[in-house]
Chain A
């Protein structure tokens, strides 16, 4: 009887975990920020979510003609890292109710990293709020989900 109870509780926990993962993983995919200058692929590593730049409207530096690098990074050793492939969203955890938090967003335009919370307003729309200290001191950008052209 004890074994049966254990199996049932384990099955229940695993099922709940699976459904939470399904909900949490709605974040996965390729997204376009409102400025349209980049496309970001959000993927999952372990239990956290990360977003990397996979496309740039202007992929090359007009001064050098070479692929853009993270030249504004405050860490000088990272200034030669290509922007394409750069993880600009890091360490997001699923909070529940269509929200992911505890992460950061990096702005390659100025080399700043902000605290960030992601809210999914519908299956194809994210409100990405980068902020300084408290949420009130921030800016929300709306990202749209992309898919292969039909």
Chain B
């Protein structure tokens, strides 16, 4: 029996000793010993990340509502004589905003995200209706955008990086049960090359194909994410799409002031037998705003924004019998089917968001 006990003791002691490996106390450790370390894998490289200090959190899932106050649209003279000119008044416009942005690949050397977006704008007409078909469809159908988007962040080293973005949106005067055919998908893209100079600053330049001003454009873009050394102020900018000054009240409480350019090209009057040609509404809005983002509970954040919505564009193009998109840019002289004055108003948007780790 004593032999058996001794044998057991011999077997148990090494196992117990092994379990204690590296369970050192932590309180009074000399941390200087961790300064002169290098990668164990000689081939390993360091890569920059897509974030700087105190950047506003990325939204994994977002559910919100957007509302605009009363405004008017002055419909101009149309190339089609059946479209009357004159004022259209709206007591408000608003709708649901949904978004998802899920990281598919999140590695040191590549980050790839896929997302979904849905935006509904229902227009509440006021007074006389339907001075022309556009006014009628806004009042009865409103505007809807359903889309997918993707972003690829590719670090080229500790400083340099490339960002590629792409999106495909179906925009129109449709409801989900009367979906616009996929042939009317509008594609946007951007490619940016930049440098992350420190944990406080990343800057990049590139080119974008965009519909943010309503119609197709190819424009240069500039990315700047910067945080001041005191970490109370910063800038988040992807100009000309959006630019904000950021004030960090705390890690979970952020204020931002700036603007966002919002818009797209909408296929409208698709089912109107009197207007069988391809009409596209070029809606562009410039939203000057204050944004408050705060953590409600752990990873659930609320975002409240309010400001002035300036109507940049609400003109209509007619693609004619070819029914093909064309490039006008800022300097093209192709005539619109109808030029409208889109008047400004106040707006507010509230959303609840699940933010990314």
Contacts of B109 in A (CB 8 A): 142
Contacts of A17 in B (CB 8 A): 15
Contact A147 B103, CB 8 Å, known A18-B18, A36-B158, A72-B251 = no
B112-162 contacts to A (CB < 8 Å): 158
Contact A109 B53, CB 8 Å, known A85-B29, A137-B354 = yes
Q: A47–B16 Cα gap in the complex (Å)?
A: 11
Contacts of B35 in A (CB 8 A): 55
Contact B40 A144 (CB under 8 A): yes
Contact A44 B22 (CB under 8 A): yes
How far is the CB of A27 from the nearest CB of chain B, in Å?
Answer: 10
How far is the CB of B293 from the nearest CB of chain A, in Å?
Answer: 12
Contacts of B7 in A (CB 8 A): 7
User: What residue in chain A is nearest B250 (Cβ atoms)?
Assistant: A72
How far is the CB of A147 from the nearest CB of chain B, in Å?
Answer: 4
How far is the CB of A32 from the nearest CB of chain B, in Å?
Answer: 8
User: What residue in chain A is nearest B106 (Cβ atoms)?
Assistant: A140
Q: Which of A21, A54, A139, A145 has a CB less than 8 Å from the CB of B34?
A: A54
Q: Which of A34, A47, A107 has a CB less than 8 Å from the CB of B49?
A: A34
B84-106 contacts to A (CB < 8 Å): 102-103, 106
Contact B19 A21 (CB under 8 A): yes
Contacts of A87 in B (CB 8 A): 26
A109-150 contacts to B (CB < 8 Å): 109-112, 114, 122-125, 127, 130-132, 136-142, 144-150
Most A CB contacts (10 A, CB to CB) among B14, B106, B356 go to: B106
Contact B46 A36 (CB under 8 A): yes
User: What residue in chain B is nearest A42 (Cβ atoms)?
Assistant: B22
Contact A46 B23 (CB under 8 A): yes
Number of interface residues of B (CB under 8 A): 54
Q: A100–B37 Cα gap in the complex (Å)?
A: 25
Q: Which of B14, B36, B44, B61 has a CB less than 8 Å from the CB of A18?
A: B14
User: What residue in chain A is nearest B8 (Cβ atoms)?
Assistant: A10
Contact A146 B108 (CB under 8 A): no
Contact B38 A146 (CB under 8 A): yes
A18-49 contacts to B (CB < 8 Å): 18, 21, 25, 28, 30, 32, 34-37, 39, 41, 43-47
Q: Is the interface of B mostly helix, strand, loop or mixed?
A: loop
A64-103 contacts to B (CB < 8 Å): 72, 74, 84-85, 87
Contact A63 B39 (CB under 8 A): no
Q: A150–B40 Cα gap in the complex (Å)?
A: 10
Contacts of A55 in B (CB 8 A): 31, 34-35, 37
Q: A140–B251 Cα gap in the complex (Å)?
A: 21
Most A CB contacts (10 A, CB to CB) among B12, B49, B61, B231 go to: B49
Q: A33–B41 Cα gap in the complex (Å)?
A: 14
Contact B40 A124 (CB under 8 A): yes
Contact B11 A28 (CB under 8 A): no
Q: Which of B230, B250, B356 has a CB less than 8 Å from the CB of A139?
A: B356
**Interface residues as binary, B218-249 with A (CB distance below 8 Å gives 1, 0 otherwise):** 00000000000111000000000000000000
Contact B231 A149 (CB under 8 A): no
User: What residue in chain B is nearest A130 (Cβ atoms)?
Assistant: B357
Q: A122–B35 Cα gap in the complex (Å)?
A: 24
Contact B23 A47 (CB under 8 A): no
Q: A63–B15 Cα gap in the complex (Å)?
A: 49
Contact A14 B11 (CB under 8 A): yes
Contacts of A127 in B (CB 8 A): 107
Q: A112–B356 Cα gap in the complex (Å)?
A: 11
Q: Which of A43, A63, A140 has a CB less than 8 Å from the CB of B23?
A: A43
Contact B4 A144 (CB under 8 A): no
Contact A139 B199 (CB under 8 A): no
User: What residue in chain B is nearest A41 (Cβ atoms)?
Assistant: B34
Q: Does B24 contact A (CB under 8 A)?
A: yes
Contact A54 B19 (CB under 8 A): no
Q: A145–B42 Cα gap in the complex (Å)?
A: 11
User: What residue in chain A is nearest B38 (Cβ atoms)?
Assistant: A149
Q: A70–B301 Cα gap in the complex (Å)?
A: 21
B20-73 contacts to A (CB < 8 Å): 21-24, 26-27, 29, 31, 34-41, 44, 46-47, 49, 51, 53-54, 57, 60-61
Task: Name 18 interchain pairs, CB-CB below 8 A, sorted by A.
Answer: A3-B4, A7-B4, A7-B7, A14-B15, A43-B22, A44-B23, A52-B26, A54-B31, A62-B231, A123-B40, A132-B354, A140-B103, A141-B108, A142-B107, A142-B109, A144-B40, A146-B37, A148-B37
Given contacts A30-B34, A32-B37, 11 further A-B contacts (CB under 8 A): A17-B15, A21-B18, A25-B21, A25-B22, A34-B46, A34-B49, A36-B46, A57-B199, A112-B357, A137-B354, A139-B356
Minimum-distance CB pairs A-B, first 8: A142-B108, A146-B37, A72-B251, A34-B108, A124-B41, A130-B357, A145-B40, A140-B106
